[in-house]
Amino acid sequence: MTTYDIFPGADGPEPQAPQRADFGSDFLWGCATSSYQIEGAGTVDGRVESIWDRFAATPGRIRDGSSGAVACDHYHRWPADLDIGRDLGLNAYRFSIAWPRICDGVSETPNAKGLDFYDRLVDGMLERGLQPWATLYHWDLPQWLQDRGGWASRDTVDAFVDMADAVTRRLGDRVGHWITHNEPWCTSIIGNYEGWHAPGLTDLGTALQVAHHVLLSHGRAVPVIRANVPGAQAGISLSLHPLRPASAAPEDVAAMDRHDGLRYRWFLDPLYGRGYPEATLAQVGKAAPVVLPGDLDDIAVPTDFLGVNYYFPETVAHDPDHGPLGARILPPQGEITAMGWPVAPQGLSELLARVDRDYRPGPLYVTENGSCYDDVVTGDGAVRDVERRRYLMRHLAALRQAVAEGVPVKGYFAWSLLDNFEWAEGYLRRFGLVHVDYATQERRLKDSAKWYRTFLRGL
């Protein structure tokens, strides 16, 4: 069994450049962002503290000591940012709702000023020909909910459904596409077991209870979305990795399977009506979540699409001393980005084909895919991000392959429109197609953005 050689990196064959015409005329081409990473305006118009504000204020949690308090100041600069999206030729835009703008934990009613912001933003998208794709939860839980137990508490499920109700009542006449959660793996495991994301806890049992409540809140929110939004398209976005064992040795293959049980099947099996994987339940033992009668039926609510966020593959080795499953992710070999993530475009087509084959979830959308590099603004004001441009081009070639193989993928959202607050990495990491000078808030199209624009013009 090989590791990376079937995921061509820098040395892999150069694909034929993808063309927009290789995809259907109704294919969606977007960029994705999230509220905490770009909005700023942390205390404006009644927004309350989120778990990321609290986490960022804790010394040592964010690598550059920063926070999302100002970020890209998108809260005030959104018209110009949406202009950029329109001028790139996008036909869709994915954004998220900041729950702390909507629910302050004190008032009986949602915060009108918070809802007004998203109302203006959505109108702005529609005026510019951008189909709005709203994510209800992209990690910025109100701190007041964390103080009451956060996602480990069942009450947060109800609070999420109430927020989803308020938001979809207000925007549902104009927003048809709703993503309940972005990357439940990160919310649950990174935030509550690995602890390097907010709220910074390190307990597996808490993390798995969080994952269960996140999935339950998805299942309970979807019918509410459908009730409030005529013709709603509702789904969820998962971050997934194609996997390889470190070697053909049976223990590495078994370790990969254990890792897959938690990383992939733990989320997808219950979403598609199979409950939690038995083997993984046995492996996590007492850390297994409390599941009440009816929960699994709720989680398995029919959806209209599945969002797949793809960045890189993982190679898994047997290591009895590592984690609850005795499985360790090996450091990448070959080409990597500035995050240290392997560059493996073929992983995208492989992953989409696998998800389609395993679960038949219906339409698939790549709701995130992108790369981080140490960009430099040259004297003439250009950002010659050759590597990101190449990353984007090769991943679109891999997407074309998936489409050609009959995988029902219907759209692609590049991560991200703008450089932004990259969580525990602060502003040290840039993923944008558009460069942001945080001192002046000036935006500059990088060469990757110009390539995407040329691609979208069909040139």
Name the site residues for ligand IFM (rule: CB under 6 A): 34, 37, 183, 309, 368, 415, 422, 431
Closest by CA position to 109, among listed 65, 64, 163: 163
In the complex, minimum distance from the CB of residue 17 to ligand IFM, in angstroms, rounded to a whole number: 25
251 is in an annotated binding site: no
423 is in an annotated binding site: yes
368 is catalytic: yes
49 is catalytic: no
Q: If DSSP codes are grouped into helix, strand and coil, which group holds residue 156?
A: helix
Selected catalytic residue, list 183, 335, 350, 425: 183
Closer Cβ to ligand IFM, 53 or 252, answer by number? 53
d(CA 306, CA 235): 5
Closer Cβ to ligand IFM, 408 or 426, answer by number? 426
In the complex, minimum distance from the CB of residue 98 to ligand IFM, in angstroms, rounded to a whole number: 13
d(CA 181, CA 99): 12
Selected catalytic residue, list 49, 314, 350, 368: 368
182 is in an annotated binding site: yes
Q: Is the dihedral of CA 305, 311, 312, 317 positive or negative?
A: negative
Closer Cβ to ligand IFM, 71 or 102, answer by number? 71
Q: Give the CA distances from residue 369 to residues 119, 221, 383, in Å, rounded to whole numbers and listed in that order.
A: 27, 26, 20
d(CA 287, CA 257): 19
d(CA 371, CA 355): 22
209 is in an annotated binding site: no
d(CA 327, CA 312): 18
Q: How many CB atoms lie within 10 A of CB 37?
A: 24
User: Does residue 224 contact residue 161 with C-beta atoms inside 8 Å?
Assistant: yes
In the complex, minimum distance from the CB of residue 185 to ligand IFM, in angstroms, rounded to a whole number: 10
Closer Cβ to ligand IFM, 309 or 448, answer by number? 309
Closer Cβ to ligand IFM, 94 or 328, answer by number? 94
Q: Give the CA distances from residue 253 to residues 200, 248, 314, in Å, rounded to whole numbers and listed in that order.
A: 31, 7, 13
Q: If DSSP codes are grouped into helix, strand and coil, which group holds residue 1?
A: coil
Q: Which residues have a Cβ under 8 Å from the Cβ of 51 and sit 6 or more positions away?
A: 139, 140, 141, 142, 143, 146, 150, 191, 198, 199
First to last CA, the chain: 41
In the complex, minimum distance from the CB of residue 432 to ligand IFM, in angstroms, rounded to a whole number: 10
d(CA 5, CA 344): 10
In the complex, minimum distance from the CB of residue 378 to ligand IFM, in angstroms, rounded to a whole number: 25
Closer Cβ to ligand IFM, 276 or 413, answer by number? 413
Query: If 0-12 CB within 10 Å is exposed, 13-18 middle and 19+ buried, where does residue 458 land?
Result: exposed
138 is in an annotated binding site: yes
Q: If DSSP codes are grouped into helix, strand and coil, which group holds residue 235?
A: strand
Closer Cβ to ligand IFM, 34 or 233, answer by number? 34
User: Does residue 251 contact residue 193 with C-beta atoms inside 8 Å?
Assistant: no
Closest by CA position to 51, among listed 156, 125, 134, 178: 156
- Which residue ranges make up the annotated binding site for substrate? 37, 138, 182, 311, 415, 422-423
- Which residue ranges make up the annotated binding site? 37, 138, 182, 311, 415, 422-423
Q: What are the catalytic residues?
A: 183, 368
